[in-house]
């Protein structure tokens, strides 16, 4: 971190800075603005010096605290970060954020000897305070922010965009799935003054979530990958998902640009966002498989949209699990690229990355280089080959749209095609129906289907009904499947492993590989 002081943190959070110390006689003294006048000259000097102290990092994991760190204490379901405040100070932390008033033991623990001055800031809510600090830090750095949201493909699109931008710019991206109210600030805290662009993934599951994230990130460019059938337990339907995602438009910086999936029926109806006409990206609607790019009705792309506001994939040649070769048409010209990840949805991701790259003045050759350098990450359609099988690790998360996309890619595999599919969460009142539809679709894509979990029983039954001769198995739990994995999976199989994160299908990937 660069240039962020404890005084700036106090101001950003609206909290109250406290200085706590023990006198040589063991008595406890706590200073804040309300009683500072009672302090001696040394105490007042220490207070002013603390306000000017620059911090080296902000952490919420006490094990990561080091010299110059600020530790955000969060009361979690399993442990309370406030219990670790004494230990982070011993590790060199210069300040802590606390949701409660701290007494002598809460600051110093079992230390009985004089331990110097320890600074902490009383805040109303630590997670909200971290968000306020992240906003302050972004304002301090003044670097462009590219926001990424959508129901499906946020992470893969983020990886593609970051890969393209990294060809010319020093780019910081969200690591893993740190895309929520806590993860977004932690990503921001990793930025350095040398970074030139931040690519931030923004995930939501409730109305208002995007407002919280957008107020922190204030993106100047925003990409929405699609509007799908996820988090329906809270957002009710696709219209609700659309409203929740597009909350971001109200909090973007002046002169912002918005990039929308032109194959998505709901996004296509956006004529203006953040004060300007959106740029659309997508796959020409005449190409095979393009209907898989939207959870809604098929829509023509680019149709009557102005060419200057469109980036589109005009041809796709599948290369099996080696990816695809595609042609991308832009307002600046046309180029071809090899996309190293299979699936037509990754061609759409490449179009999104192209549109964003052009907005930063990149050349088509730079963009092509970035697309061809993109890599997948663990749990996101990562192909892992063992001595006798190919495992598609797509187990981080799942919803009906992403299930369909992954099954379509699996259907192109050589040899016996197996899918190990599990429950999908937060689908609301239609969760059983959506699992049934996924099972029926899977039946046309695989040679052997294994479903795991209570909801996936519906997937199993629908697959059997759709294809009575298909080899299908159902297990109540991951543990039950693992007992029989050796019988279910054969040498030479290509195996897709996919479910919502709570199913912990990473255990299956680990066992198979």
Residue range 322-351, pLDDT digits in tens: 889 999 999 999 999 999 888 888 999 999
Question: How high is the pLDDT of residue 112?
Answer: 59
Q: State how beta strands 324-330 and 333-339 pair.
A: antiparallel
Superfamily of domain 382-512: Mur ligase, C-terminal domain (3.90.190.20)
Residues 454/481, Cβ–Cβ less than 8 Å: no
Q: What is the CATH number of domain 143-372?
A: 3.40.1190.10
Using DSSP's 3-state secondary structure scheme, residue 82 falls into helix
- Name which of 19-28, 153-162, 176-185, 333-342 the model is least confident about: 19-28
Q: Given its phi and psi angles, is residue 116 left (phi above 0), alpha (psi -120 to 50 degrees) or beta?
A: left
Helices (H), ranges, 219-343: 232-235, 238-245
Question: How high is the pLDDT of residue 43?
Answer: 75
Whole-number average pLDDT of the chain: 92
Query: What's the whole-number mean pLDDT along residues 385-406?
Result: 88
For the segment(s) 6-124, the CATH number from 3.40.1390.10, 3.40.605.10, 2.60.40.2470, 1.10.10.2520 is: 3.40.1390.10
What residue spans in the chain does CATH classification 3.40.1190.10 cover? Answer: 143-372
Residues 499/398, Cβ–Cβ less than 8 Å: yes
Got the DSSP string for 3-64?
S-BHHHHHHHHT-EEEEEEE-TTS-EEEE-TTTGGGS-HHHHHHHHHHHTPBPSEEESSGGG
Q: Look at residues 150, 508, 128, 496 and name the one whose alpha carbon lies nearest to residue 352.
A: 150
Question: How high is the pLDDT of residue 493?
Answer: 95
What residue spans in the chain does CATH classification 3.40.1390.10 cover? Answer: 6-124
What residue spans in the chain does CATH classification 3.90.190.20 cover? Answer: 382-512
Interval 71-103: pLDDT, tens: 999 998 889 999 999 999 999 999 999 999 998
Residues 66/58, Cβ–Cβ less than 8 Å: no
Token code pair at residue 175: 């690591």
pTM above 0.75, yes or no: yes
The crossing angle, in degrees rounded to 10, of helices 126-141 and 6-13 is 120
Interval 226-249: pLDDT, tens: 998 777 778 889 999 999 999 999
Residues 228/152, Cβ–Cβ less than 8 Å: yes
Query: Is pLDDT of 114 > 60?
Result: no
Cβ atoms < 10 Å from Cβ of 203: 25
- Helix then strand then coil, % of the chain, to nearest 5: 40, 20, 40
Query: Is pLDDT of 37 > 70?
Result: yes
Question: How high is the pLDDT of residue 438?
Answer: 95
Rounded Cα distance between 110 and 90, Å, is: 12
Residue 85 DSSP class: H
Query: Is pLDDT of 147 > 70?
Result: yes
- Name which of 147-161, 182-196, 250-264, 398-412 the model is least confident about: 398-412
Rounded Cα distance between 57 and 63, Å, is: 13
Rounded Cα distance between 4 and 8, Å, is: 6
Confidence of residue 262 (pLDDT cuts 50, 70, 90): very high
Rounded Cα distance between 385 and 383, Å, is: 7
Interval 413-469: pLDDT, tens: 889 999 999 999 888 888 999 999 999 999 999 999 999 999 999 999 999 999 999
Question: Which phi and psi (to 5°) does residue 63 adopt?
Answer: -70, -20
Question: Which phi and psi (to 5°) does residue 497 adopt?
Answer: -120, 115
Question: How high is the pLDDT of residue 330?
Answer: 98
Residue with tokens 């100047």: 220
């Amino acid at each position: 971190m660069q240039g962020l002081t404890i005084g700036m943190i106090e101001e950003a959070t609206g909290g109250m800075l406290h200085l706590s110390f023990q006198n040589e006689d063991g008595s406890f003294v706590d200073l804040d603005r309300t009683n500072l006048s009672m302090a001696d000259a040394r105490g007042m000097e220490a207070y002013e010096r603390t306000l000017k102290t620059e911090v080296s990092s902000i952490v919420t994991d006490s094990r990561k605290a080091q010299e110059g760190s600020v530790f955000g204490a969060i009361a979690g379901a399993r442990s309370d970060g406030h219990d670790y405040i004494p230990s982070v100070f011993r590790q060199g932390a210069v300040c802590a954020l606390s949701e409660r008033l701290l007494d002598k033991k809460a600051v110093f623990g079992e230390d009985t000897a004089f331990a110097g001055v320890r600074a902490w800031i009383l805040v109303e809510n630590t997670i909200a305070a971290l968000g306020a600090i992240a906003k302050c830090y972004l304002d301090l750095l003044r670097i462009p922010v590219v926001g990424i949201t959508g129901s499906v493909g946020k992470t893969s699109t983020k990886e593609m965009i970051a890969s393209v931008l990294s060809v010319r710019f020093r780019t910081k991206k969200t690591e893993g799935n740190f895309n929520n109210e806590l993860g977004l600030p932690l990503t921001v805290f990793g930025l350095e003054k040398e970074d030139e662009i931040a690519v931030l993934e923004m995930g939501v599951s409730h109305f208002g979530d995007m407002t919280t994230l957008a107020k922190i990130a204030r993106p100047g460019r925003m990409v929405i990958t699609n509007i799908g059938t996820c988090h329906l337990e809270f957002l009710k339907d696709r219209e609700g998902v659309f409203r929740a995602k597009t909350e971001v438009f109200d909090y973007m910086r002046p002169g912002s640009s918005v990039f929308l999936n032109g194959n998505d029926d709901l996004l296509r109806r956006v004529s203006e966002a953040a004060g300007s006409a959106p740029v659309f990206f997508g796959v020409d609607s005449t190409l095979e498989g393009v209907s898989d790019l939207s959870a809604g009705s098929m829509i023509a792309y680019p149709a009557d949209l102005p060419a200057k506001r469109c980036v589109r994939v005009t041809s796709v040649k599948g290369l099996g699990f080696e990816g695809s070769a595609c042609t991308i048409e832009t307002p600046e010209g046309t180029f071809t690229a090899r996309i190293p990840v299979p699936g037509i949805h990754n061609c759409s991701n490449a179009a999104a990355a192209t549109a964003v790259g052009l907005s930063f003045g990149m050349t088509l050759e730079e963009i092509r280089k970035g697309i061809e350098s993109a890599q997948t990450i663990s749990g996101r359609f990562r192909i892992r080959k063992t001595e006798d099988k190919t495992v598609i690790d797509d187990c981080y998360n799942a919803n009906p749209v992403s299930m369909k996309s992954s099954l379509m890619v699996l259907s192109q595999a050589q040899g016996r095609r197996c899918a190990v599919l599990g429950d999908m969460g937060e689908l609301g009142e239609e969760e059983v129906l959506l699992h049934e539809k996924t099972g029926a679709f899977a039946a046309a894509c695989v040679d052997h289907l294994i479903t795991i979990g209570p909801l996936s029983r519906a997937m199993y039954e629908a697959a059997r009904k759709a294809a009575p001769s298909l080899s299908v198995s159902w297990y109540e739990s991951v543990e039950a499947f693992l007992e029989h994995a050796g019988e279910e999976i054969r040498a030479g199989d290509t195996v897709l492993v996919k479910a919502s994160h709570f199913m912990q299908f990473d255990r299956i990937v680990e066992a198979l590989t």
